[in-house]
Amino acid sequence: MPTMTSHTPGTFCWVELSSTDAEGAKRFYPALFGWTMRETPITGGVYIMCQLDGHEVAAMYQMSDADKGHGMPSHWFNYIAVASADETAAHVVALGGTVLAAPFDVMEHGRMAVLQDPTGGIFGVWQAKDHPGVGVRDEPNSLCWNELMSPERARAAAFYGKLIGWELSPMETPEGEYTVFMSEGTPKGGCCQITPGMGDVRPGWRAYFAVADCDATVQLATKLGGEVLMAPADAPGIGRWAALRDPQGAVFSVIAPVS
């Protein structure tokens, strides 16, 4: 299993779960993905590192009572590696976005900011110091893709292209046009349009985790108390994927990539 010690700017480098029931999530995800948990004390609680064969692949923590009181659901939060969190945050405002949390240091690990695009998608940026991000990705049971669900796909895509420096590559799908974010010829993420047929879908970034067998993973997720939002389906030339909701309410996707 190849390991990673750095992430080039413009790459999704970290995902963390803010859960209304972290204890429940600690049971669900290890059973689903084979992760082990390592807890680190933080102010007001613990930060739980999710590891695969000893390498960090994600994290989770208990959502604050204040956020729960505001009706915030459990959710996966996605971070993009950047050279400078401060410069990126400053650029966001000029492009019509919003700085939700100004850049700040996370001890010796790195510097981050929480930002929102003009169409509602919230994301983090990470300027690494001692902690580069995930140590493994694109392997079974690890992060492999990040996708923005937006009510204004074209506007959102243009925003990220200018902010992150991604090139925009349009792709036709059965559901409509899809934008692939590219950097130096490598796909970094994607953006799709929220349509009326999707129901009550909030704007936001969704994390995809690679799996060896999509159908088997979906069956296991339901056995563990998860919910199927999109049944397994084939994406020609890409893989077989499904959308799930964990027992605590966080939405994520799994995909068995075409080998």
- pLDDT tens, residue by residue, 169-222: 998 876 678 999 999 999 999 999 998 777 778 899 999 999 999 999 999 999
- Identify whether residues 40 and 110 lie together within a single domain: yes
Q: Are both 21 and 116 inside the same structural domain?
A: yes
**How far is the C-alpha of 109 from the C-alpha of 72, rounded, in Å?**
27
22 and 104 together in one domain: yes
User: How does pLDDT run across 210-234, given as a tens digit for each residue?
Assistant: 999 999 999 999 999 999 999 999 9
Q: Are residues 124 and 209 in the same domain?
A: no
Sign of CA dihedral 23, 15, 33, 234: positive
Residue 62 lies in a domain: yes
- Side by side, the strands of the sheet bearing 167-173 are 167-173, 176-183, 186-193, 143-150, 204-210, 251-257, 239-245, 227-235
| pLDDT of 48 over the 80 cut | yes
Average pLDDT value over all residues in the chain: 94
Residue 217 lies in domain? 143-257
| 24, 124: one domain | yes
Q: How far apart are CA 247 and CA 220, in angstroms?
A: 13
Distance from the Cα of residue 150 to its chain's centroid: 14
User: What is the count of structural domains for the chain?
Assistant: 2
CATH number at residue 107: 3.10.180.10
* Residue with token string 């102010």: 43
Q: What is the pLDDT of residue 68?
A: 84
Say if residue 1's pLDDT is above 70.
no
Half-sphere exposure of 49 (CA within 13 A, CB side): 15
Residues 209 and 177 occupy one common structural domain? yes
Q: Looking at the predicted structure, is the pLDDT value of residue 45 above 90?
A: no
φ/ψ region of 255 (left if φ > 0, alpha if ψ in -120 to 50, else beta) reads beta
The 10 Å Cβ neighbour count of residue 238 is 14
Query: Tens digit of pLDDT for each residue in 137-155?
Result: 999 999 999 999 999 999 9
Q: State the pLDDT at residue 173.
A: 77
In a domain, 138, yes or no: no
* Residue where a domain terminates, one of 67, 96, 128: 128
Tokens at residue 241, please?
């994927």
User: Same structural domain for residues 61 and 117?
Assistant: yes
pLDDT band at 70 (very low <50, low <70, confident <90, very high): confident
Give the whole-angstrom CA distance, residue 114 versus residue 181: 20
* pLDDT for 239 beyond 80: yes
Assess whether 148 and 248 both reside in one domain: yes
Return the structure tokens found at 163: 């902010």
Q: What mean pLDDT comes out for the span 56-72?
A: 91
For residue 133, being part of any structural domain is answered with no
Structure tokens at 67: 């956020």
Are 109 and 178 within one domain?
Answer: no
- Do 105 and 148 sit in the same domain of this protein? no
Structure tokens at 129: 């110091």
Write down the pLDDT at residue 69: 82
Which pLDDT tens digit goes with each residue over 6-21?
999 999 999 999 999 9
Please check whether residue 27 lies inside any domain of the structure.
yes
Assess whether 27 and 108 both reside in one domain.
Answer: yes
Choosing from 80, 101, 128, the residue where a domain stops is 128
Residue 137 covered by a domain: no
**109 and 155 co-located in one domain:** no
Domain contains 2: no
Q: Mean per-residue pLDDT for 51-73?
A: 92
Q: Tell whether 166 is covered by a domain.
A: yes
Tokens of 223: 């056995």
Is the residue at 155 inside a domain? yes
Residue located via tokens 């929220």: 194
Q: What does the block give as tokens for 172?
A: 């036709």
Going by their DSSP bridges, the two strands 75-81 and 122-128 should be labelled as parallel
pLDDT digits over 84-117, tens only? Answer: 999 999 999 999 999 999 999 999 999 999 999 9
Task: Work out the average pLDDT over 129-136.
Answer: 96
* % of the chain at pLDDT higher than 90: 84
Between strands 122-128 and 186-193, the pairing is unpaired
